[in-house]
Amino acid sequence: MQEIIDQFFDVGFMAEHFDEILEGFWVTIQLAFVSGVLALIWGLILALLRQLPGRPLVPVRFLTIAYIDVFRAIPLLLILVLIATGIPALTFLPESVRIPQWLGKPDPFWFGTLGLTVTYGAYMAEVYRAGIEAVPAGQMEAARSLGMNHGQAMRNVIVPQAVRKVFAPMLNEFIALMKDTTLVSVIALNEVLQVASDIQSETFISAGLTLGALMFLVVILPLARLVDKLIARTQGRYTRGSHIEVA
Amino acid sequence: MAEPMVKLEGIHKRFGELEVLRGVDVEVGRGEVVCVLGPSGSGKSTLLRCVNLLEPPERGEIFVEGHDICKGPGSAAGEAGWELDFVRQRVGIVFQQFNLFPHKTALENVTMAQEKVLGRSAEEARAKGTMLLERVGLGDKLGQYPERLSGGQQQRVAIARALAMDPRVMLFDEVTSALDPELVKEVLDTMRELAEEGMTMMVVTHEIGFAREVADQVVFMDGGVIVELGPPAQVLDAPREERTRRFLGLVLDR
C-alpha cells in the first residue's frame, strides 16, 4: 500500500515539481485554446461548404465530405508525426514555415496546432452539420421567401440557431481536443505530459504524472458539468416552449 | 381585363412518382383575392408554393406582372433560369407554421430582410416594422420573442414580416390551420383588412366563410387539377361539379 502511495500520490514530490508541471500544463492550455478556436472556425467553414446548394457545386460538396471522412478516419497521432516530420523536410518552403517560431512558440506547438485543427475541424464540421440540419426547413424557406440568398439566410437565420443547438456537443468536442493535446508530446512539445514523463524518467516516480492528471480534472470536470447543465436547459426550453418545431 | 398580376399556365409538378399538379391554369387580377380550396393532397399548397418558386414546377409558365419568372421549359436550368430576385421581391408568403425566426424579436423578424435584402437603414426598417406591427395590432409586442407570443400573434408578425418587403402579391398557405379556434378570427380579420386595402392575394384555406365573404374568385382543386373555378356565389353556393358538392358537404357539415 505504501509503495502505491509513494509511486503515484507522493504529495511532497508533487509539491517539489509543481511549478515545472504547471508550466507544462500552461502550454497545454494555450495549445488547446489556439487549436480549439481555429478548429471551431475551420469546422464551420467545412460545414457551410457542405451545405452549399445547387448542382454546379456538387464537386465542392464532394471534396468537403471526402475531407471530413478522411480526417476522421486517420489517427491524430499519425497525423501529428506526419506533419512534424514532413513539413520541415520540404525545402521549397521558407524557413519560417518549415520551422515556425511564431509568437515565441516553438515549432512543435504550431505543428500540434495544425494537426489538431485539421482533425478536430472535421469532427466539429459534423457537429455543426447536426445543428444546421436540426433547424426546421421552414426557416430556410421563410428566409429565402423574404428575398435573402443562400448565404444571407445561412448567416442571419440558420447558423445562429444551429450554433445555439450545438453548444453542448461542441463543448464536448473541445474537452476531447484538450485531452488529445497530450499526443503532441510525441513531437517533443514541452506540454504537461512531456514535462511529467521527463521527471518520471529521471526519478522513476510517477506522482508527477498524477499531478498532471489532477490538473486536467480541475479544468475539465467543471466543463463537463457545464455541458450537462446546458443540455438540461436546452431540452427544457424546447419541450416546454410554445415554439413549434416543423419537420 | 388588364394584365393579370399572376398568371399560371399548364403547371405540372411531381414529387418522385406522385404527380401533384397535372396542368393547372389560374389568373389572378390586380387587387383580386383568389381562395384555393380542396381536400388535403389536392395540390393546393404546392400550387401556391410554385408561385414564388419554393417548389419550381417541372412544366408550365408562371408570369408575375407579365414577367416570365420560370424561364424555359421545366426547371432543368435550375436556379439560373429562375427569376428568384424578381419574384421574391414582389411576392410575399405566410406559412401554416409561421416560421418566425425564434432567435429574433418580433420587430427584428420584421426588420431583418428589409435591411439585408432591400438595403434599408436600421431606422427606416425600424419605423416601417413598428408601423406594420401596430397595424396588425401588435404595437405592444415589438421586443417579444416568438415563443412568448400566441399562435395568432405569431402569425400576425409573420404577415407584417412579409408586408415589410412591399410585396405586390401575398400568398397565404393555410395560415389558420395550426391555430387554436379562438385565435383564427384575429388572423382572418388582418387578412380581410389587407384585402380591403386592395392587396392581391392567393389564399389556400379551409375557411369557407372567409372565402365566401372576401374572395373574388374561388378555385376548387382535387387530384392536382382545377375542378371548378368562379365567383364564390357560384362555386360555393351552386357548385356545378359533383366533387365540389361532396367536398363542401363534408366541410360545411362539421
Question: Rounded to an integer, what distance in angstroms lies between the CA atom of residue A43 and that of residue A35?
Answer: 11
Helix (H) or strand (E) holding A80: helix A76-86
Q: Determine contact: A236 vs chain B, CB below 8 A.
A: no
Residues 114-133 of chain B with CB under 8 A from chain A are 116-118
What sign does the dihedral A243-B251-B184-A139 (CA atoms) show?
Answer: positive
Q: A242 and B116 in contact by Cβ < 8 A?
A: no
Q: How many CB atoms lie under 10 A from the CB of residue B126? A: 18
pLDDT at B187: 94
- pLDDT by 10-residue block (mean), chain B, 254 residues: 86 90 94 94 93 88 87 52 81 96 96 96 97 95 95 96 96 94 93 95 94 95 94 93 91 71
Question: Rounded to an integer, what distance in angstroms lies between the CA atom of residue A198 and that of residue A185?
Answer: 11
Tell me the pLDDT of chain A (247 aa) as tens digits.
899 999 999 999 999 999 999 999 999 999 999 999 999 999 999 999 999 988 889 999 999 999 999 999 999 999 999 999 999 999 999 988 888 888 988 999 999 999 999 999 999 999 999 999 999 999 999 999 999 999 999 999 999 999 999 999 999 999 999 999 999 999 989 999 999 999 999 999 999 999 999 999 999 999 999 988 988 887 766 554 444 444 3
Q: Which residues pair with B8 in a beta bridge?
A: B26, B62
pLDDT at B80: 58
Nearest Cβ partner for B113 among A138, A146, A160: A146
What sign does the dihedral B20-B24-B29-B35 (CA atoms) show?
Answer: negative
Q: Determine contact: A52 vs chain B, CB below 8 A.
A: no
Task: Yes or no: say if A170 and A211 are a contact pair by the CB < 8 Å rule.
Answer: no
Query: From B158, which residue of chain A is nearest by alpha-carbon distance?
Result: A142
Q: Residue A243: helix, strand or coil by DSSP?
A: coil
Name B53's Cβ contacts closer than 8 Å, sequence gap at least 6.
B62, B69, B70, B82, B84, B87, B88
Chain A residue numbers with beta carbons less than 8 Å from the beta carbon of B95 are: 138, 141-142
Q: B97 and A244 in contact by Cβ < 8 A?
A: yes
Q: Determine contact: A142 vs chain B, CB below 8 A.
A: yes
Residues 175-234 of chain A with CB under 8 A from chain B are none
Q: What is the ipTM of this complex?
A: 0.92
Burial class (CB in 10 A: 0-12, 13-18, 19+), B138: buried
Nearest Cβ partner for B146 among A148, A152, A243: A243
Task: State pTM to two decimals.
Answer: 0.88
Q: Determine contact: A240 vs chain B, CB below 8 A.
A: no
B89 min Cα distance to partner chain A (Å)? 6
Cell of B17: 412518382
3-state SS, one letter per residue, for A104-121? HCCHHHHHHHHHHHHHHH
Nearest Cβ partner for A54 among B79, B161, B165: B79
A60 min Cα distance to partner chain B (Å)? 17
pLDDT at B253: 67
Size of interface A-B (CB pairs under 8 A): 72
